[in-house]
């Protein structure tokens, strides 16, 4: 459940800037994986030592180690592939064990100790998420966008459902929502499950119901596959230019921040959407625009730059971004600075919310009520890591928290090979006072390996599809 960050107008960057952004994305991704994986495995290690189990190796990364250091009778390693890690303990199932080490072997411990060791990794990730949220909230404060609809695109899923500018979303399928992000997440994850009812309060303060019936449609598939939006956003734009991008047709025509475009080829364009639509429909064509600056009207000739979208369509771009509707922004944006105790409470609350939501998502995948296209791999994670890092430290920290929740929940799934599969085996052993047969465990491991390989292939396929359209 990674947020897709979209801009109104794409910026054509200088190659050097693109390289810098690429490097930033790489380092932001590697730092995220190393932190989350290291602490996950450290959770296993610390509880194993506390339970009296002998630990042989702690590795961050997969593959042949390129750095090794021995400390406290443990081999600490760094391996080249930063997509995982492991803790190697004394275990009779993995080779011969000296008689003096037998009491300290993992597989010779009672089920409760093994359960504690296995559960420590995912639980560390969940605890880390709560801490990261707490740090973010206590230092940077909490910014929420109230669940108001600012604008609705046409055509779109939101428009087909009857959403209108000014709607305040109250409930999604009966579940109350308090901010726009949660409302949108609830809707997106329910798109394939069937009809969605959204209770709103319209701009006139009257209760109404919007019904979304998009399951199986190309629009719903695009939301999951390409992380496109529902066609509604919380913000409103004004009819004035908020930013002019350098070295674009708008800059060459002399347009400035605060200008208001009122006509194109003598056709009146009273709203931002009116003239931006014409710009998009005329890539590479000369257009005469009329604009107002300081109460006076001027004209200029522009040629929109052709820009090819992921789906293959080419649109024209002028190189401007709209100014926000400041009055509306004040209405929907809520920012406050909680104290440390409140930040800690909010951190645990946010972690619990996303943990429940993630478990619910995996449940919908199993029942066929959620699209497999929602599954993301390392490429998408890296992209979001880079974008959040570019925005600022707080979005990046909250991104780390969200990925930590996803990592913790995924490892708790009852799939052999994952921590959750081992927890299932050991819990059965605890309840029935005997372990599952070696044959059953071997078949379970084969199933787990096959399932994880299939999920990895699907995740990479989805990533490549999103990247190249």
Q: What is the pLDDT of residues 199-238, one digit of tens each?
A: 999 999 999 999 999 888 888 888 877 666 799 999 998 8
Of 168-177, 308-317, 340-349, 376-385, where does mean pLDDT reach its minimum? Answer: 308-317
Whole-number pLDDT of residue 356:
92
Of 203-207, 278-282, 442-446, 463-467, where does mean pLDDT reach its minimum? Answer: 463-467
Whole-number pLDDT of residue 4:
33
Q: How far is CA 309 from CA 5, 312, 358, 469, in A?
A: 16, 5, 31, 8
Q: Where are the beta strands (DSSP E) in 259-342?
A: 260-264, 267-268, 287-293, 296-302, 305-308, 314-317, 320-324, 333-336
Residue 266 burial (CB count, 10 A): 8
Comparing C-alpha atoms, which of 235, 218, 176, 234 is closest to residue 200?
A: 176
Regarding predicted confidence, which is higher, 289 or 19?
289
Whole-number pLDDT of residue 18:
57
Mean pLDDT of the chain: 89
Q: Which residues have CB under 8 Å from 256's CB, separation 6+?
A: 241, 244, 293
Question: Domain 237-324: which CATH class?
Answer: mainly beta
**In angstroms, rounded to a whole number, what is the distance separating the alpha carbons of residues 221 and 215?**
8
Q: Give per-residue pLDDT as tens, 109-141.
A: 999 999 999 999 999 999 999 999 999 999 999
Identical fold at 151-234 and 237-324? yes
Give per-residue burial for 388-409: e unless 16+ CB within 10 Å, then b: bbeeeebbbbbbbbbbbbbbbb
Residue 162 DSSP code: T
Domain boundaries 151-234, corresponding CATH code: 2.30.42.10
Q: Give per-residue pLDDT as tens, 27-50.
A: 898 889 889 999 999 999 999 999
**In angstroms, rounded to a whole number, what is the distance separating the alpha carbons of residues 111 and 95?**
21
Q: Where are the domains of the chain?
A: 15-52+109-139+372-468, 151-234, 237-324
Active site residue ranges: 41
The C-alpha torsion from 214 through 406 and 7 to 132, rounded to 10°, is: 140
Whole-number pLDDT of residue 310:
62
> What percentage of residues in the chain have a pLDDT greater than 70?
95
Read off the pTM.
Answer: 0.82
């Amino acid at each position: 459940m990674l947020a897709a960050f979209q801009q109104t107008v794409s910026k054509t960057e200088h190659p050097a800037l693109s390289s810098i952004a690429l490097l930033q994305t790489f380092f932001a991704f590697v730092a995220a994986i190393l932190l989350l994986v290291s602490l996950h495995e450290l959770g296993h290690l610390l509880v194993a030592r506390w339970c009296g189990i002998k630990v042989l190796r702690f590795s961050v990364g997969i593959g042949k180690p390129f750095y090794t250091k021995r400390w406290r009778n443990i081999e600490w390693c760094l391996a080249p592939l930063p997509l995982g890690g492991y803790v190697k303990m004394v275990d009779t199932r993995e080779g011969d064990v000296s008689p003096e080490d037998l009491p300290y072997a993992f597989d010779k411990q009672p089920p409760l100790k093994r359960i504690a060791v296995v559960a420590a990794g995912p639980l560390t990730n969940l605890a880390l998420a709560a801490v990261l949220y707490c740090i973010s909230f206590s230092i940077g404060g909490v910014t929420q966008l109230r669940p108001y609809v600012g604008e609705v695109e046409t055509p779109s899923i939101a428009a087909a459902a009857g959403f209108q500018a000014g709607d305040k979303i109250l409930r999604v399928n009966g579940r109350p929502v308090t901010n726009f992000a949660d409302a949108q997440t609830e809707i997106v994850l329910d798109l394939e499950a069937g009809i969605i009812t959204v209770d709103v309060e319209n701009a006139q303060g009257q209760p109404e119901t919007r019904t979304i019936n998009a399951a199986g449609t190309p629009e719903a598939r695009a939301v999951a596959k390409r992380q496109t939006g529902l066609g509604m956003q919380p913000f409103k734009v004004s009819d004035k230019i908020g930013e002019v991008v350098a070295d674009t047709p708008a800059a060459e025509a002399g347009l400035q921040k605060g200008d208001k475009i009122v006509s194109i080829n003598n056709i009146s364009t009273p709203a931002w959407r009116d003239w931006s639509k014409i710009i998009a429909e005329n890539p590479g064509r000369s257009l005469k625009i009329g604009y107002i600056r300081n109460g006076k009207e001027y004209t200029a000739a522009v040629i929109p730059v052709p820009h090819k979208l992921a789906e293959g369509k080419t649109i024209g771009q002028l190189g401007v971004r709209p100014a926000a509707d400041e009055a509306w922004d004040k209405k929907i944006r809520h920012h406050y600075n909680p104290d440390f105790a409140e930040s800690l409470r909010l951190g645990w609350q946010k972690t619990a919310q996303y943990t429940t939501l993630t478990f619910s998502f995996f449940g919908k995948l199993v029942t066929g009520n959620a699209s497999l296209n929602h599954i993301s791999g390392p490429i998408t994670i890296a992209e979001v890591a880079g974008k959040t890092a570019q925005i600022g430290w707080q979005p990046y920290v909250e991104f780390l928290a969200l990925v930590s929740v996803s990592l913790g929940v995924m490892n708790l799934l009852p799939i052999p090979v994952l921590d959750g599969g081992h927890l299932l085996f050991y819990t059965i052993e605890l309840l029935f006072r005997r372990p599952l047969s070696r044959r059953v465990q071997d078949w379970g491991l084969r199933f787990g390996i096959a399932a994880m390989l299939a999920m990895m292939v699907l995740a990479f396929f989805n990533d490549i599809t999103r990247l190249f359209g």
